[in-house]
A and B are shown apart, each in its own frame.
Chain A
Amino acid sequence: MKVQDLIDKQIFRVISEGDDTSRDITGVFCCDLLSIAMGKAPADSAWVTVMGNINTIAVATLADVSCVIMAEGVVLDEVARTKAAQQGVTVLATEEPVFDAALKIYQEIHG
């Protein structure tokens, strides 16, 4: 599944559309501790988190995930939102808990 496909499903709100929505989403990763996410988030995964600060965007960029999903209605702060636009990171959002959001993505990937 491509990032664009996930956007088109309209399961999540679009907070920031990245500069490469044609990239693949090959898995889902859930974690809020950035150091763990940094070391463990697989490249090309959709990362579901409730940590919405600027460092989330830095980790997303450096760990090379396909997109970030903010769960539990958490708001990405303004500085982070600007950073996401600058870095071309796709950020989506949902009111749902982390597990439910991740499960939906998993189901979309695996049919």
Chain B
Amino acid sequence: MAEAIRLTYEISPDDFTRAGEASSDVKKKLRSLGVSPDAIRKVAIAMYEGEINMVIHAEGGIITVDISPDKIVMILADKGPGIPDIEQAMQAGWSTAPNEIRSLGFGAGMGLPNMKKYTDEMTIDTVIGKGTTITMVVKI
């Protein structure tokens, strides 16, 4: 893998039946590229949590994944409501997910903490009323 590979996914709003497809696709591609199972699991978990967040909170968005020989960079960009208090959102157990989402098994307030836990770097750029862009890096 000499050059970087870029994958782009459009995440549909409110479509829980498709949530996870982008993450599954990335997982398959990484596996075929021979990336280590540990790094693949980290990317898959972090990206799926991000995907679910975009479906629940932000009416979908765009995920770009750049795969290079030493790292995988995921950029999740949405035009959702933004995150008013990032520190609070990062606390395990804090959630603003509605009840119907909780009945599906989500909304435990573990999304952002899981994303941080499973990546080597994570930055959140958010503007209220404009949207949020989360950049996550997993080193290979």
Contacts and interface: CB of A to CB of B under 8 A. Distances in A.
Interface size grouping (class) on chain B: 20 to 34
A35 B24 contact: no
B138 interface: no
Interface residues of A, number: 22
A62 B45 contact: yes
A79 B19 CA distance: 13
B110 interface: yes
B20 A58 contact: yes
26 contacts: A33-B105, A33-B106, A33-B110, A35-B52, A35-B106, A35-B114, A38-B48, A38-B49, A39-B114, A43-B37, A53-B16, A53-B105, A54-B16, A54-B17, A55-B19, A55-B20, A55-B104, A55-B106, A58-B48, A61-B44, A62-B24, A62-B27, A62-B44, A63-B41, A63-B45, A64-B41
Given A56-B105, A58-B48, A61-B27, 4 more contacts: A35-B109, A55-B20, A58-B23, A64-B40
